Chain A
Amino acid sequence: MDTHTTTLQGPPHVHHMDSKTAYESAKFGMWLFLATELLLFGVLFAAFFLYRWKYLSEFEHAALQLDWKFGSINTAVLLFSSFTAALAVFYAQHNDNAKVRLNVLITIGCGFIFLIIKAIEYYAKYKHGYFIGTEHFNNADMIQKYKVYFGLYFCMTMLHALHVVIGMSLLFWVYTKARVNRFSEAYFTPVEIAALYWHLVDLIWIYLFPLLYLVK
């Protein structure tokens, strides 16, 4: 995968060393940030494991209220968006700004589809009274059966959805740069950084989906 460095044998680039150092530091900084993100979600996953272990029958009951078909479609959508995000980086490394724009737009589009499906799901749950604080939820039966599970469900998926929105904004910023053909094999840091963030969003969903929708 070192094609971009090995093919860099044209006229010597004045800023070559600088931009390489800048590129490495930016990427390093992003990975540090991703490490903190992992811990942020990790705490919620720890809470999920603990409460599932403590209140297993409530969890089994509540998890049946989620529709696995919505979750599966959303998983496929996010996996595909990760694929196009990786392609965007690849085309930036190969001086093809038009294809960077195309792939970034597809990725953002997938983000929208994901959020729309999530909103449909949220609305159904809200109408059934599974949302903490709604009037219906306050009846005793609801609290007993669904409180812990849906508290964690909304906390984790909403925090994840927030990350989707931030990732889409980052990708849009990349798009505006690609519009003025900013990227080349010598400079593609923003595409790579935004794609790394987007892959993290995908990674978290890879764990959220089976735990929330499938595990019984």
Chain B
Amino acid sequence: MGKGHSTKLYLNVFLILLALTIITVVLARTLHFSPEISIIVALTIATVKASFVIWYFMHMKTESKLLWIYAIFPVIILGILVGGVFLDNPFRDNPTPITAVAPK
């Protein structure tokens, strides 16, 4: 029972994660996306990888509802933070260019 099956599952998850890493690198090195698209592609693949780690390696698959709530809560707070920052900034003046002010 369990034993062989489970280690094999972990191995498969690791191989999938490795494959996704190679896909990220190849996509970024070969295709020339616009800055917006490239960050969305990178974040999407990273989130898929993170889900595999959380689901299988961190055993979220079998955890209780309570733990799920506590795991998802900070993600929502983070969304509010990032969302707030980006709701605010587009309505401001253009950024001042980084001026070269060498100390001393």
Contact = CB atoms under 8 A, between A and B. Distances in A.
Given A38-B75, A94-B3, A216-B38, A141 B100 contact: yes
B35 A3 contact: no
A94 B100 CA distance: 61
Interface string A61-77: 00000001000100110
Contact of A210 (B13, B32, B46, B85): B46
Contacts of A211: 39, 42-43, 46
A199 B81 contact: no
A147 B99 CA distance: 10
A147 B35 CA distance: 20
Interface string B80-101: 0110011001000001001111
A77 to B, nearest CB: 11
Contact of B102 (A42, A143, A202): A143
Contacts of B10: 83, 86-87, 90
A38 B11 CA distance: 26
Contact of A31 (B13, B18, B70, B102): B70
B77 to A, nearest CB: 6
Nearest to B44: A210
A55 B98 contact: yes
Interface in B1-24: 1-3, 6-7, 10-11, 13-14, 17-18, 21, 24
B92 to A, nearest CB: 10
Interface stretch (A11-19, A45-53, A121-129, A171-179): A45-53
Given A3-B2, A28-B67, A144-B100, A207 B50 contact: yes
A111 B31 CA distance: 32
Contacts of B86: 49-50, 53
B98 to A, nearest CB: 5
Contacts of A76: 18, 21
A203 B54 contact: yes
B38 to A, nearest CB: 5
Contacts of A216: 28, 32-33, 35, 38
Given A38-B74, A210-B28, 12 more contacts: A32-B70, A68-B29, A83-B11, A83-B14, A89-B59, A90-B6, A206-B49, A210-B43, A211-B43, A214-B28, A215-B28, A216-B38
- Listed from nearest, the 8 A-B pairs whose CB atoms lie closest are A140-B100, A210-B42, A214-B28, A83-B14, A3-B2, A35-B74, A42-B78, A54-B95
